[in-house]
Amino acid sequence: MTLERFLYLFTRSYVLYPFIAGIAVSLIAAVIGVSLVQKRYSMIGDGLSHVGFASLAISTAVGMAGSVWISLPIVTLSAVFLLRLRESNKMKGDAAIAILSTGALAVGTIIAQKSTGLGGDVCNYMFGSTSIFAMTPGDFATTVVLALLMFALYLFFYHKFFLVSFDESFGKAIGVRVSFYNTFLAVLTAITIVIGMKMMGAMLISSLIVFPSLTAVRVCRTFRSVTVAAAILSVCTYVVGFALSIALSTPPGATIVIVDIAVFLLFCAIGALKNRVKRG
């Protein structure tokens, strides 16, 4: 691909829309990821993305393919349900997620088979690929507005999220409504997955949530610096991954994950070097 052709693509709305929307999604995914990873909630994001797949199959079956207004309630309710199950201690958290994940995959597969068949649609839901370039102006606006709204909400409650991530029982003891903020976090996660999964693919979306904060933690040692670094890293890896996928004609979601892994390894090395220097 010539450079001219590459730059030309970025002036077209079918590339520009998902490009900009993705930046907004990677921003919110990164900051909520910092809390999720520290709370050992990473797998909740993964479980919910499977539910997201089922919701995409359902929305297609009822003729509203990919509508966030079908996915949002389904995934959000699942998030609240998962959290309640964990808190009630009736079932181990990871077992609950495993059941929800496979259950949602099974339901999604059957619905897809019965409606459109197990073809290209299912592949798109799972792995993103070409569905990213079918963003309507309505989708674009919804995604960007939701992402920025959630980003603002997260920053507004940043200290509360820090407290419930660091020490839940202390939070409860001093009268902070811990379960409210946990639910809040789960709902933010659900919304992030719904607006992000069509681009990244349901199977790859949780990488946007876990990678930036895991990478940032290798080098940064305060909560604020980790949050800021994760946000910056997330946007950078998204932009690089997206551009590479256009240039190399690879699926965007998978390409972004590969870039994430590369940066993660780089930061591991920097972190190890930093530790060695410190120890002298």
Q: How far is CA 246 from the centre of its chain?
A: 21
To other proteins, the closest distance from the beta carbon of 41 in angstroms equals 14
Which of 64, 170, 262, 269 touches other proteins (CB under 8 A)?
Answer: 170
- Does 92 bind other proteins (CB under 8 A)? Our answer is no
- Alpha carbons 92 and 256: distance in angstroms, whole number: 32
Instruction: Tokens 């990473």: give the residue.
Output: 42
Residue 192: φ, ψ to 5°: -60, -45
- Structure-block tokens of residue 226: 């980790």
Helical residues (DSSP H) of the chain, grouped into ranges: 3-9, 13-38, 42-61, 68-88, 93-115, 120-127, 137-156, 158-166, 168-173, 178-200, 206-217, 223-248, 252-279
Stretch that binds other proteins, among 100-108, 126-134, 141-149, 153-161 (CB under 8 A): 153-161
User: How is residue 204 written in tokens?
Assistant: 């790859």
State the Cα–Cα distance between residues 178 and 185, nearest whole angstrom. Answer: 11
174 binds other proteins (CB under 8 A): yes
The binder of other proteins chosen from 81, 133, 140, 162 (CB under 8 A): 162
**Minimum distance, C-beta of residue 187 to other proteins, in the bound complex (Å):** 18
State how far the Cα of 141 lies from the Cα of 139, in Å rounded to an integer.
Answer: 6
Residue tagged 């297609």 (tokens): 60
Q: Is residue 271 involved in binding other proteins (CB under 8 A)?
A: no
- 148 is a site residue for other proteins (CB under 8 A): no
Stretch that binds other proteins, among 9-17, 111-119, 121-129, 223-231 (CB under 8 A): 223-231
Among 169, 249, 276, 277, binds other proteins (CB under 8 A): 169
Which residue from 20, 109, 160, 183 is in contact with other proteins, where contact means CB under 8 A?
Answer: 160
* 183 belongs to the binding site for other proteins (CB under 8 A): no
The verdict on 81 binding other proteins (CB under 8 A) reads no
Q: What are phi and psi of 110, to 5 degrees?
A: -65, -45
Each residue 199-218 as x (binds other proteins by CB under 8 A) or -, in order, gives: -----------------xx-
Q: What is the DSSP string of 104-154?
A: HHHHHHHHHHHHT-SSHHHHHHHH-GGGGG---HHHHHHHHHHHHHHHHHH
Total chain residues near other proteins (CB under 8 A): 29
Shorter beta-carbon distance to other proteins: residue 38 or 207: 38
Chain residues in the site for other proteins (CB under 8 A): 38, 155-160, 162-163, 165-167, 169-176, 216-217, 220-226
